[in-house]
Amino acid sequence: MRNSYKHAVLTLCLFLLGIPGKGAGWDWPLEKEYYSQMSMHERAEYNRARDLLQNKEYKAAAASFEKSIAQFPNSSLLSYMIFMKGYSQHQAGNRHTAVKSYNEVLDFFGNVIEDAAPALYFLGVAHMENGDTREGLSALKEMVEDADYRQHELAAGALRRLADNYWKNKEPKLAMRYWKQAVEDFQKQNPTEAKEALENIIQEHLLSGEYNDLQSWWLPLEDGEPAARKMAFADTLWDHAWRYFYHKHGNFTEEKKAFVRFFESQAPFYEEQNELWKFYTRDFKFITHQKIEEASTLDLVDNAIAFVASEENSEEKDSRFALLAEELHRMEEYDLARNLIARIQDPVVAGFATAKLYGSQNDYQAAAREYEEIEKRAQGKASEQALEKRAYIYRVRLDRQEEAIKLYRQLANPPHNLWNIADCYRRAGNLSSTIQTYTEIENSFPRDAPRAAWSKADRYHHAGEKDKAIASARRILKLYPKSRESSAAHQLLEKYGINTGGGLIEE
């Protein structure tokens, strides 16, 4: 393992926190150094083939590279041209032909690493795409084991593909070996592949629960090193766990609990960095949203309440009590949440927290009354926010559309309030007023006009007004041909069996 590995992996941790990568680390266009070696005629032929490939005219590009090979058989870039012919054939879907071209490069130009290495990689890919997994894996394994080929950027992809296959075949130790090698060797040279390999490594540990083992490899720490690095590791791992378990279908209750236990063991590092509030919010968020019941949770709540109570800043204290109360009613600890809200000094902050508590218990009448009280005693944005939340409850929860419309008309935030008013009319079954409101949006707000026009067509369609739906869809094709809604209008007309190339019907 290289001496710079520790810092390299920390860099990759930061990369995974959101610093964008530079792509796949490999691209096929010829570098300037080699391009300058070509004659004028050779450049012209190459430019023609390159442009065809960039325009995704793959068959024509393959033919153009073939022509260049025939015209310049003694070119110093012959190996590159043969590879590019194979690559173009591959992109065109002619994989068996591409395999022949890749093998030609390897047979006659195996020592030209910059061309032979990509040829070997894509040879493996082509075999696997053809269903010949054994041949494909053999080529990829040859690449990662060859002293020269494994230095190429594409070796990262070979390592990752090999690991994925071993994982699929329930050989986790081999999979882990190749994923780790992809991270260790290519996090700078090929960050895209390294990132994907690291994602797979982390996911395996999220399932196995071996977090200390992950930390010792991913972010090696020596005694006396700053707690900031340990906190950064816990933070990054939390991000991965949140995304993984949020999108992953299945129970995973024990795996989630194992992660919570690990994360809670990192609390001292957050405390040392004066980031205990961040620790509490992240811990509770994971527990409540992932629906985990842990015996330690209420003890943590007591600790968090004590921590917030020690705050000197009254505004920050109130906002943090409100956030804790929200997490508590997600846990269905309603009495505890109510007691916490009672400690909030600012009546407006307490009012919003109380309204949310009522909403979590499906008592929308009480929530609406609470928002109405806030409107009376608050000013500016807080009052408007309370009014809009009350309007939402009337519109979505209580089906009191006329009252909701009156509230939305008080809001000076068009076209947002107009969209909500149109939805009120739709829910009330008032087609005429729904269409009229969409027309108002279309005429007054150009950026929203295509969406409003499509909303009219869609409403007519669902109301069974076939002629008006067709006319509205055709009008979109005429007025907003480049909009996203134009595609939806095409599809609607096709449902009605209408030729979209025909004449336009005005509404």
Dihedral angle sign, alpha carbons of residues 399, 403, 406, 409: negative
Between 1.25.40, 1.20.120, 2.60.40, 3.30.1820, what CATH number should domain 425-507 receive?
A: 1.25.40
pLDDT confidence of 59, banded at 50, 70, 90?
very high
Closest among 180, 193, 159, 144 to 22, alpha carbons compared: 193
pLDDT at 506: 45
Please determine, for residue 270, whether its predicted confidence score (pLDDT) is greater than 50. Answer: yes
Task: Name residue, tokens 């015996």.
Answer: 295
What distance lies between CA 256 and its chain's CA centroid? 21
Q: How many of the other CB atoms lie within 10 Å of CB of 162?
A: 24
pLDDT at 501: 54
- What are 355-370's pLDDT values in tens digits? 999 999 999 999 999 9
Say if residues 450 and 483 touch (Cβ distance below 8 Å).
yes
pLDDT confidence of 18, banded at 50, 70, 90?
very low
pLDDT at 348: 97
Specify the amino acid at residue 111.
Answer: N
pLDDT at 15: 37
Most confident of 188-197, 225-234, 396-405: 396-405
Task: Identify the three-state secondary structure at position 316.
Answer: helix
Please determine, for residue 502, whether its predicted confidence score (pLDDT) is greater than 70. Answer: no
Angle between helices 211-218 and 191-208 (to 10 degrees): 160
Give the mean model confidence (pLDDT) for residues 147-175: 90
Closest among 292, 297, 206 to 244, alpha carbons compared: 206
CB-neighbour burial class of residue 452 (10 A; exposed 0-12, middle 13-18, buried 19+): buried
Task: Identify the three-state secondary structure at position 253.
Answer: helix
Say if residues 106 and 120 touch (Cβ distance below 8 Å).
yes
Say if residues 337 and 329 touch (Cβ distance below 8 Å).
yes
- What are 135-154's pLDDT values in tens digits? 999 999 999 999 999 999 89
- In whole angstroms, give the CA distance from residue 26 to residue 16: 20
Give the helix/strand (H/E) hosting 280: helix 276-289
Residue 305, CB-side half-sphere exposure with 13 Å CA sphere = 18
- In whole angstroms, give the CA distance from residue 11 to residue 24: 17
Give the mean model confidence (pLDDT) for residues 489-504: 79
- Average pLDDT score over the chain: 89
Q: Which has the higher per-residue pLDDT, 199 or 220? A: 199
Please determine, for residue 21, whether its predicted confidence score (pLDDT) is greater than 70. Answer: no
pLDDT at 301: 87
- In whole angstroms, give the CA distance from residue 25 to residue 486: 37
Domain boundaries, the chain: 221-287, 425-507
pLDDT confidence of 19, banded at 50, 70, 90?
very low
pLDDT at 224: 65
Give the mean model confidence (pLDDT) for residues 203-209: 91
Percent share of the chain, pLDDT over 70: 92
- DSSP code for 393: I
| C-alpha distance across the termini of the chain, in Å | 71
Angle between helices 78-91 and 40-54 (to 10 degrees): 20
CA dihedral 230, 234, 239, 244 (to 10 degrees): 130
pLDDT at 4: 35
Please determine, for residue 250, whether its predicted confidence score (pLDDT) is greater than 80. Answer: no
pLDDT confidence of 271, banded at 50, 70, 90?
very high
pLDDT at 187: 82
Give the mean model confidence (pLDDT) for residues 380-387: 96
- In whole angstroms, give the CA distance from residue 111 to residue 424: 71
pLDDT at 294: 64
Most confident of 206-215, 256-265, 284-293: 256-265
Please determine, for residue 16, whether its predicted confidence score (pLDDT) is greater than 60. Answer: no
- In whole angstroms, give the CA distance from residue 335 to residue 31: 68
Please determine, for residue 81, whether its predicted confidence score (pLDDT) is greater than 50. Answer: yes
Q: Which has the higher per-residue pLDDT, 193 or 394? A: 394
Say if residues 74 and 48 touch (Cβ distance below 8 Å).
no
pLDDT confidence of 86, banded at 50, 70, 90?
very high
pLDDT at 12: 39
pLDDT at 223: 62
- In whole angstroms, give the CA distance from residue 318 to residue 335: 18
- In whole angstroms, give the CA distance from residue 164 to residue 143: 16
- In whole angstroms, give the CA distance from residue 129 to residue 95: 8
pLDDT at 472: 97
- What are 452-487's pLDDT values in tens digits? 999 999 999 999 999 999 999 999 999 999 999 999
Say if residues 229 and 219 touch (Cβ distance below 8 Å).
yes
Closest among 130, 74, 138, 153 to 106, alpha carbons compared: 138
